[in-house]
């Protein structure tokens, strides 16, 4: 069986996702591509924090087609199934999908064996479902079974498993940073001599992925750890790699501190929940408690001077900007906000820019159609940046209008300062 890797649908979506990734995220850093073996069958395994975005960003980091294993409930109808199939996606079944789930999975596994036989690449998320928390959950053993099965069926096949850590500073809000961290490849044949090869491979995968991501293992004190490492912005986020390394180091130091101060840590964890609720009620970000001076005049000048460009970019990109926002407003689960912004936004940009350029060519200035087309992504990006800056300006304005003598504010500010002192002591 030969697989048509680069379908027309796959080519189109690949381009859209690539543009969408670099347009949606503030900074994208990819490290460890040299760890991917050349001309070998590969199973990519990764943590799963950001639903549909995760497979998209992994797929476009290399100019080679990949296949995906996804939950079977995504393939809801024959039409959807055909579309997803053209995107190289294959369903994986669970017990809840019916008594014949094992038989169906056997057929999918056999298809995976054939893909690997042709030096193909498959992306698998062994956690089985997505969760925006920065915590590696229990892993399913399917990836090891596929690797061992393909290696056993085709003795000459040299299958590798490449662990990947996906690190988002935020999986919900726009303009976050993304760090894709590829680890050392795991060679399946190296485990041939083990009686429990599948378990040993899964242990190696878990250890590798955990080392490649910010893995907050303590679920009970997750809020405390996340606040210190992310929400508070005690750690500057100017440089993606440097910020990641600092967070990784501080996380280990924080674990040690918690071991020595368990009672205090649990009390502070409760306090961080109150801070977050206070910030949510007042529509501000926790890092604003770091502010000492307003610094709003400079932001205001940029907003005033940049308004004409923003207006042009917004008008010409209104549909790609507005449609995802309206759809997200109807969704209760904010974990799907990023995928909709990135995927639907990128798709609508491609459609709208094409239609608008055709209209411009035939009805406005045909000689300058290329200049108009070029202006759409540039001013769209400027409008997007302007919108983010405006949101920050409004947030700062809200913060400085708060009653600083209010008991809730005082309590939140004091807790923030206490956590800052703890962070400074993590050396």
* Contact criterion met (CB below 8 Å) for 415 and 407: no
Predicted local confidence at residue 1, as pLDDT: 46
**Calpha distance 212→209 (Å, rounded):** 5
Instruction: Tell me if residue 49 falls in helix, strand or coil.
Output: coil
**Calpha distance 346→56 (Å, rounded):** 12
Predicted local confidence at residue 51, as pLDDT: 83
- Domains in the chain: ranges and CATH: 8-211 (3.40.1130.10), 222-284+404-424 (no CATH), 296-401 (no CATH)
Q: Hey, what long-range contacts does 281-287 have (CB within 8 A, 24 or more apart)?
A: 282/398, 282/402, 283/395, 283/398, 284/395, 284/398, 284/399, 284/402, 285/231, 285/395, 286/227, 286/231, 286/232, 286/233, 286/416, 287/231, 287/232, 287/233
Q: Which single residue is written with the structure tokens 């193909």?
A: 120
Predicted local confidence at residue 218, as pLDDT: 95
284 CB burial (10 A radius; 0-12, 13-18, 19+): buried
Average pLDDT, the chain: 90
Partnered with residue 46 across adjacent β-strands are: 164
- Tokens found for residue 296: 């709003």
Low-confidence residues in the chain, pLDDT < 70: 1-5, 293-295, 333, 335
* Contact criterion met (CB below 8 Å) for 228 and 234: yes
Predicted local confidence at residue 294, as pLDDT: 57
């Amino acid at each position: 069986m030969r697989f048509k890797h680069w379908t027309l649908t796959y080519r189109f979506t690949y381009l859209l996702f690539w543009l969408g990734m670099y347009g949606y995220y503030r900074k994208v850093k990819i490290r460890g591509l040299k760890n991917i073996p050349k001309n070998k069958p590969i199973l990519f395994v990764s943590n799963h924090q950001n639903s549909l975005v995760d497979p998209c960003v992994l797929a476009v980091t290399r100019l080679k087609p990949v296949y995906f294993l996804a939950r079977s409930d995504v393939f809801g109808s024959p039409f959807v199934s055909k579309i997803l199939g053209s995107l190289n996606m294959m369903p994986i079944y669970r017990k809840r999908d019916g008594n014949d789930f094992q038989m169906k999975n056997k057929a999918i596994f056999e298809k995976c064996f054939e893909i690997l036989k042709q030096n193909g690449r498959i992306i698998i998320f062994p956690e089985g479902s997505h969760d925006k928390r920065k915590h590696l959950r229990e892993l399913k053993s399917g990836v090891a079974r596929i690797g061992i099965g393909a290696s056993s069926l085709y003795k000459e096949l040299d299958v590798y498993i490449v662990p990947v850590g996906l690190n988002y500073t935020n999986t919900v809000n726009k303009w976050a940073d993304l760090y894709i961290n590829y680890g050392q490849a795991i060679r399946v044949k190296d485990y041939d001599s083990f009686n429990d090869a599948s378990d040993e491979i899964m242990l190696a995968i878990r250890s590798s992925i955990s080392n490649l991501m910010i893995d907050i293992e303590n679920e009970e004190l997750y809020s405390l750890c996340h606040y210190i490492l992310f929400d508070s912005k005690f750690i500057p986020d100017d440089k993606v790699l440097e910020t990641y390394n600092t967070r990784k180091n501080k996380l280990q130091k924080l674990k040690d501190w918690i071991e020595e101060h368990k009672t205090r840590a649990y009390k502070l964890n409760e306090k961080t929940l109150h801070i977050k609720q206070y910030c949510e009620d007042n529509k501000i970000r926790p890092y604003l408690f770091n502010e000492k001076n307003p610094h709003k005049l400079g932001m205001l000048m940029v907003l005033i001077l940049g308004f004409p460009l923003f207006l042009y970019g917004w008008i010409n990109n209104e549909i790609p900007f507005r449609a995802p926002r309206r759809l997200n407003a109807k969704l209760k689960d904010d974990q799907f906000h990023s995928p909709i912004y990135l995927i639907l936004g990128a798709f609508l940009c491609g459609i709208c820019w094409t239609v608008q350029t055709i209209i411009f060519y035939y009805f406005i200035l045909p000689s300058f159609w290329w200049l108009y087309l070029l202006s759409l992504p540039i001013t769209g990006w400027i409008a997007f940046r302007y919108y983010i800056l405006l949101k920050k300006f409004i947030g700062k304005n809200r913060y400085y209008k708060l009653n600083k003598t209010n008991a809730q504010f005082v309590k939140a500010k004091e807790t923030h300062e206490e956590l800052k002192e703890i962070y400074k002591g993590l050396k």
